């Protein structure tokens, strides 16, 4: 079961003090998200593929026609916050307001219920478990906000396959991003900069060895021109430029090698009776 997903945000929605949480600044910066997302839509159309698009509310309000184009092409529309703040930087009140705004925005644009969510930067951790009750309250049934890694408090505890988050009277299905174990460290490989940097044969080998993968990308991952906007930030410029010259070619090889589906479709393909259940109330796996 291989899931294909895209986080619809612009090049300046990166985690850097020069750009974070500054919507007034964003409005005056060059827009790259429209053309890059249109390329993704054209590519998926040529490949006859459907994907899950986790859309930022800010992008949706600024470019409503773009979101409608994704929806009209038959792809799954999901929520990716409104202002792209990490959940760990929010409290319950601000998280509720941000999530409700993106859900309402996307539902108004598509006339469809939004039932899936992804936290910016896969930023759910042990200190933000309160957020899942809010997600449930706002109608979210499926989530993809976890990845295992050195910076994650759940490192080594998150299953490398879908699992269930069980709260007080509700359950949310979780689709994590897989990692591989490298001398005790949990390393990501299935998307974005990791996918751009790693040699394709290495990524393909890991995909072939797994029955489940969550591939995730951003429009900027396929844009080898964004570096010119990051001249003042040498490391960030290098980080987001690396691998963009052949990322489109690598994506084409990946989708031709494996059968990808949306997260919505994957819900019906996975045997949830065998899934690990993580109890949000006492922090235990069952």
Ramachandran region, residue 118 (left: φ > 0; alpha: ψ -120 to 50; beta: rest): beta
SS3 136: helix
Domain boundaries, the chain: 2-285
The whole-number pLDDT of residue 157 equals: 67
**E-assigned strand segments in 84-205:** 116-117, 142-143, 163-166, 171-174, 179-182, 185-188
The radius of gyration of the chain from alpha carbons, rounded to an integer in Å, stands at 18
Distance of CA 172 to the CA centre of its chain: 16
Distance of CA 91 to the CA centre of its chain: 21
The whole-number pLDDT of residue 31 equals: 94
Q: How far apart are CA 173 and CA 168, in angstroms?
A: 14
Which residues does 222 contact at the CB level (< 8 Å), separation at least 6? Answer: 36, 39, 40, 244, 247, 248, 251
Structure tokens at 41: 């839509």
Structure tokens at 246: 């052949």
Q: Tell me, which fold does domain 2-285 have in CATH?
A: TIM Barrel (3.20.20)
SS3 279: strand
What pTM did the predictor assign? Answer: 0.93
DSSP 161: S
Cα–Cα distance list, 248 to 23, 47, 190, 192, 228 (Å): 29, 13, 15, 12, 19
Closest among 265, 266, 261 to 162, alpha carbons compared = 266
Helical H runs in 219-258? 234-241, 247-257
Residue keyed to tokens 């979210």: 140
In order along the chain (286 residues), what is the average pLDDT of each group of 10 residues? 98 86 90 97 98 98 98 98 96 98 99 98 88 98 80 57 93 93 82 93 96 96 85 73 91 98 97 91 60
């Amino acid at each position: 079961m291989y899931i294909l997903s895209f986080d619809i945000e612009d090049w300046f929605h990166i985690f850097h003090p020069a750009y974070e949480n500054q919507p007034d600044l964003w409005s005056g910066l060059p827009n790259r998200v429209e053309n890059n997302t249109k390329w993704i839509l054209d590519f998926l159309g040529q490949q006859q593929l459907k994907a899950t698009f986790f859309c930022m509310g800010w992008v949706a309000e600024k470019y409503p026609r773009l979101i409608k184009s994704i929806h009209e092409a038959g792809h799954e529309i999901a929520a990716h916050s409104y202002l792209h703040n990490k959940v760990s930087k929010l409290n319950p009140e601000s998280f509720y307001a941000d999530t409700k705004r993106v859900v309402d925005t996307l539902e108004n644009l598509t006339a469809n219920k939004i039932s899936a969510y992804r936290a910016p930067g896969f930023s759910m951790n042990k200190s933000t478990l309160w957020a899942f009750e809010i997600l449930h309250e706002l109608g979210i049934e499926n989530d993809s906000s976890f990845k295992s890694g050195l910076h994650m408090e759940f490192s080594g505890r998150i299953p490398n396959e879908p699992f269930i988050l069980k709260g007080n009277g509700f359950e949310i299905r979780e689709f994590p991003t897989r990692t591989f174990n490298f001398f005790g460290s949990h390393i990501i490989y299935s998307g974005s900069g990791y996918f751009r940097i790693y040699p394709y044969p290495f990524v393909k080998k890991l995909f072939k060895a797994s029955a489940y993968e969550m591939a995730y990308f951003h429009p900027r991952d396929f844009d080898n021109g964004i570096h010119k906007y990051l001249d003042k930030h040498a490391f960030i410029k290098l980080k987001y430029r690396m691998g963009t010259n052949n990322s489109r070619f690598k994506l084409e090889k990946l989708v031709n090698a494996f059968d990808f589906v949306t997260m919505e479709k994957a819900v019906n393909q996975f045997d949830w009776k065998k899934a690990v259940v993580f109890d949000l109330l006492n922090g235990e796996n069952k």
